[in-house]
Amino acid sequence: MQGVVKAYDPQTGDGVLTCDTDLSDYDLAGDALEGSVFRMLRQGQRVIFDLDGSGRATALRLGSEIDMKTPGHAD
Answering whether pTM is above 0.85, one says no
Q: What pLDDT, in 10s, does the model give residues 14-60?
A: 999 999 999 999 999 999 998 888 888 999 999 999 999 999 999 99
Distances (CA, A) of 54 to 11, 29, 30, 40, 57: 23, 9, 11, 22, 9
pLDDT for res 73: 46
**Structural domains of the chain, ranges and CATH numbers in brackets:** 2-61 (2.40.50.140)
pLDDT of residue 69 exceeding 90, the answer is: no
Across all residues in the chain, what is the average pLDDT? 86
Q: Which of 1, 6, 2 is nearest to 41 (CA)?
A: 6
